[in-house]
Structure 1
């Protein structure tokens, strides 16, 4: 943790750069020659290194009878723009009625604007700004842009609003908070003289349980200083506690702009943030707490001589928890540890191959001390990837897809390496039907995401058949493509044992075993199965011995390409990458 909280550092950076003055000027200029019939006005200002998009609204736009929340579920059929924010654990949310109706009425015009801004090259970073209800529109437009821009070619848009009212309920906050990168795109500037940001503070939506909840970072300003906070409950308390008497008595529905933010941002530019008289010794002992208190003092909330109307201790506690949650799950840093565990499992795989048993069966039998370490590393890897999958599912749709693609390669290697160990433990306990009854959800999701990505690549590249050259060259070390391969082997072994003891249903069992043969042959012809399955001590070879013996009782006509492959020991050439699949014309 640095000396100041993250919010304070953000405030210093933006305010000291002079950017706030430039953005407010862009908003203010839109009020000139305002047409009262034009409810929404916007303008793109092209700068040398970035573009500014500003939004303002007419005074008649913010009406008292439109303060309620409109549920996304009631809008998505006619207006599905913001479904991108939904996720498995947060399927819907609500947005201020006035804001969403205004946005929807300008949807076609805003669509053209969005498409134009997404065009390139050249690609310029975009800063989106707005005042009052125009700030709410700016926030929604930013969320829309986040789903449309090619972030590999340009930076994420930054949204900075002035005096914007609250926009949505706690589910909207949750949807945005689920993405660390998205929530960092929003900064809302609020002065204590402005009633508009506080208009929905205590509003109880009709016939709804939800209430308004802020998202993003709030820069709260007054004549004596400024403070920056991200925790939504802290923001709600501070918006109420910092409202001046003039803001409390002013009608927020009157003609706007009710507050000129020009002097406010100019004061910010010339002021040093968070001045205070706290002793240096206290600062050194508790830098985070002192940083928060100095910010509160700067906006007149934590002055010793004043009676407090907020709980400072709880406010500090919430801000600490917010920082902890942000840092708790950092997949980039922890991935290096996971790579070390994967290297150990690779070493164990090679060791098992040298013992002529194989990775799967060595772990299943657990004869040595190595398996204890493997079990520990397997647990660490599984906990990590369960968290990763949960994180991806909880993210908004677009951001979640980006997250999955970024980590899909590592997740696929993990699944193919570790799931076989779970299968070994499962069948060691004499259980049945792993794929339908025992498979973990995170394996299913990782596999599904890989298939989705492969289909997307196939469509983009119009690729035909698979190329086997790279697989042939590395066949000695590859992981079997189907991470459930050993579960299929175990089920095939069970079927062979049943054929020895049960005559009833033999035809169905034989058909399933023939299908398994066909499945194995398909893997072989594409070099998609590890050569370790042919080790003398492997479960696959045990199955093949039983199945071959049973097939002999059925006559010589019951043969297959796999028979020829196994009898001629072509798997030796397969292991060296020197085998080429023959072309069979007879039915298999």
Structure 2
């Protein structure tokens, strides 16, 4: 704890020094006496409104997936939302000429040094993005490795939405982020409010956290009424956001909130990582650590509430003053001053005012405690849902191995591919296989529905066992879905009604994206499990023997190339090339310039 305290103090000191050099993109401090040696990279902040909000209400935009490919919901393929101006500023930092940030990171990683990215105020988002950028390059599968970077922020504003938070937990990266927040500091709450509601007060009051201003880190800024209005505008917006999320946590339908949402836009920003709330009083004050993002959101609102109306002016001024006193609060961090409200402690949090787990130091009301318990109970429900699915995973594995395994063997003995056998659907075994297909589909549809409703842990889509099972199901079961689709004539010659566009269920789309993400593979337009869908569609498009359409010609050429690649890797079943298969029948109708491929021809002749 002592060494950690020294590191936190140095990170904060570096952040303040960065503030004093706002024209420099970042400052670097190298500490060699520790093992491993450390490199602290600190970023300055800004108080200009253009560096906080873009033209939109809350200034959000889609994350740049070329820099941050992991920051998305994998199954739904929805990118995280991030503050646009923070993202643009980070783009500017990494695009600078040598010595670039990339060079500094590469050098430190190569020497096995511990990198600590740090930032106070709006320098925090730069530290966050720099850490994620480094994790993407050095900690993702097949990357170059090295000691994982750490990120420490002080009074940082929020930066991304719930998908941003979800993705960092799924990748197991949230543990590398520690955010210190003073109990009343208004800056971490600012982005709960849209720019339109702050009017002209932002530029005036933000001078207290603008490194370029003579009022920087000073409480001597703004008129009393301006500060009060600023504080209440932000907290009233925070109240709507937290009430909305609390209703979801407790599964309550609040018609009043639903009506308000129509007229009042809600901030998309949500916390992630570990938050350490500093209760004040310097060394005597407690530091309360919380990792549950839903619980953190509630604490951000409830801990900054007034006890009485008489505190209005005092708390409003304090909300600015506390942004400047992290140094005093972080001196001599002691283990006895830390309280970790983990999942179990949050669930047992009493609703009374009695001190429990140090939460009274944040002045949490009974309603606040109820919301924190609800946040913990939601995580518990997600874990219970996952446990129930483990039983169904055994059910799927049995169906795949025994029933569909025996079904495939039956057709193999008859020198017929199981795809073509199922497509003809003339045997009793075909009917049984169809029942098995529907049983497996039912389980997967339940899984996908729970994912879409956020009823499973964030880590679920990265679980190797489910990724592997999803891959096996696509390989064995999806061809049956494709055969069923085309057997019932649900397609036409136009691609709009093809299986890939209209018929492919999410139970196959999601696991394919899981595998591509896990292996860091590029997106496949046609995977091996969808081979038959492409064959069927091209078969209809070339039924008159004409491949003159440029798009069709390109697709035929692409498929030929993929067949050869898949076959060499033994990823394509050999029964594809049996004399009577749908593929071979179609192949023989093609013009010689397409079908005279030595490698594929040799496979058909076997």
Smaller-chain TM-score range? 0.5 to 0.7
User: Which position in structure 1 is the counterpart of 2:157?
Assistant: 166
- SS for the counterpart of 2:100 is helix
Shift of 1:370: 7.7
Q: Aligned ranges for residues 363-378 of structure 1 at < 5 Å? A: 363-364=422-423, 365=425, 367-368=427-428, 372=432, 375-376=435-436
Shift of 1:224: 5.8
**d(CA) in 1 for partners of 2:364, 2:165:** 35
Shift of 1:39: 7.0
- 2:178–2:273 CA contact under 8 A, matched in 1: yes
User: Which position in structure 2 is the counterpart of 1:554?
Assistant: none
User: Which position in structure 2 is the counterpart of 1:205?
Assistant: 195
User: Which position in structure 1 is the counterpart of 2:244?
Assistant: none
User: Which position in structure 2 is the counterpart of 1:11?
Assistant: none
User: Which position in structure 2 is the counterpart of 1:578?
Assistant: none
Q: Which runs of 5+ in 2 are unaligned?
A: 198-263
- Does 1:25 pair with 2:10? yes
User: Which position in structure 2 is the counterpart of 1:195?
Assistant: 185
Q: Aligned ranges for residues 297-316 of structure 1 at < 5 Å? A: 297-301=356-360, 308=365, 310-316=367-373
- 2:14–2:29 CA contact under 8 A, matched in 1: no
- 1:42 is aligned, of 19, 24, 27, to 27
**d(CA) in 2 for partners of 1:530, 1:36:** 63
User: Which position in structure 2 is the counterpart of 1:131?
Assistant: 120
TM-score, scaled relative to structure 1: 0.60
Q: Output one character per residue of 1:484-539: Cα deviation in whole Å (capped at 9) or x when no partner.
A: 337746986x89xxxxxxxxxxx9724479x9999899969967864435779x66
**d(CA) in 2 for partners of 1:118, 1:318:** 39
Shift of 1:117: 0.9
Q: Aligned ranges for residues 81-480 of structure 1 at < 5 Å? A: 85=71, 90=78, 93-95=81-83, 103=90, 106-108=93-95, 112-119=100-107, 120-149=109-138, 151=140, 152=143, 153-162=145-154, 164-168=155-159, 172-179=161-168, 180-181=170-171, 182-192=173-183, 195-198=185-188, 200=190, 203-206=193-196, 209-211=265-267, 212-222=269-279, 223=284, 225-232=286-293, 234-243=295-304, 248-250=315-317, 257-261=324-328, 263=330, 266-267=333-334, 269-271=335-337, 273=339, 289-290=347-348, 297-301=356-360, 308=365, 310-322=367-379, 324-325=381-382, 341-344=399-402, 345-364=404-423, 365=425, 367-368=427-428, 372=432, 375-376=435-436, 379-380=439-440, 384=444, 414-433=473-492, 436-439=497-500, 440=504
Residues 561, 247 of structure 1: alpha-carbon distance in 2 compared, 3 angstrom cutoff? same
Residues 573, 83 of structure 1: alpha-carbon distance in 2 compared, 3 angstrom cutoff? closer
- 2:29–2:39 CA contact under 8 A, matched in 1: yes
**Greater gyration radius:** 1
- 1:230–1:319 CA contact under 8 A, matched in 2: no
Residues 53, 332 of structure 1: alpha-carbon distance in 2 compared, 3 angstrom cutoff? farther
Shift of 1:23: 1.9
**d(CA) in 2 for partners of 1:329, 1:128:** 35
**d(CA) in 1 for partners of 2:49, 2:520:** 51
- 2:535–2:583 CA contact under 8 A, matched in 1: no
- SS for the counterpart of 1:297 is coil
- 1:30–1:41 CA contact under 8 A, matched in 2: no
TM-score, scaled relative to structure 2: 0.59
Q: Which runs of 5+ in 1 are unaligned?
A: 1-15, 276-282, 458-479, 496-506, 552-556, 575-588
- SS for the counterpart of 1:127 is strand
Q: Output one character per residue of 1:407-449: Cα deviation in whole Å (capped at 9) or x when no partner.
A: 9887665434323211222233244449752331656788899
Shift of 1:270: 2.6
**d(CA) in 2 for partners of 1:524, 1:74:** 45
Shift of 1:124: 3.9
**d(CA) in 2 for partners of 1:203, 1:542:** 62
- 1:532 is aligned, of 567, 572, 575, to 575
- Does 1:53 pair with 2:110? no
- Structural RMSD (CA): 6.0
- 2:345–2:357 CA contact under 8 A, matched in 1: no
**d(CA) in 2 for partners of 1:189, 1:94:** 20
**d(CA) in 1 for partners of 2:445, 2:2:** 41
**d(CA) in 2 for partners of 1:412, 1:24:** 48
Shift of 1:329: 6.2
- SS for the counterpart of 1:189 is strand
- 2:53–2:59 CA contact under 8 A, matched in 1: no
**d(CA) in 2 for partners of 1:73, 1:314:** 28
**d(CA) in 2 for partners of 1:66, 1:381:** 49
Residues 329, 158 of structure 1: alpha-carbon distance in 2 compared, 3 angstrom cutoff? farther
- 1:57–1:134 CA contact under 8 A, matched in 2: yes
- SS for the counterpart of 2:153 is strand
Residues 444, 103 of structure 1: alpha-carbon distance in 2 compared, 3 angstrom cutoff? closer
- 2:350–2:369 CA contact under 8 A, matched in 1: no
- 1:356–1:535 CA contact under 8 A, matched in 2: yes
Q: Output one character per residue of 1:291-324: Cα deviation in whole Å (capped at 9) or x when no partner.
A: 5769973444499xx8936343233112322454
- SS for the counterpart of 2:479 is helix
User: Which position in structure 2 is the counterpart of 1:509?
Assistant: 544
Shift of 1:112: 1.0
Residues 455, 76 of structure 1: alpha-carbon distance in 2 compared, 3 angstrom cutoff? closer
- SS for the counterpart of 1:423 is helix
- 1:166–1:214 CA contact under 8 A, matched in 2: no
Residues 240, 34 of structure 1: alpha-carbon distance in 2 compared, 3 angstrom cutoff? closer
- SS for the counterpart of 2:474 is helix
Shift of 1:264: 6.1
**d(CA) in 1 for partners of 2:266, 2:431:** 52
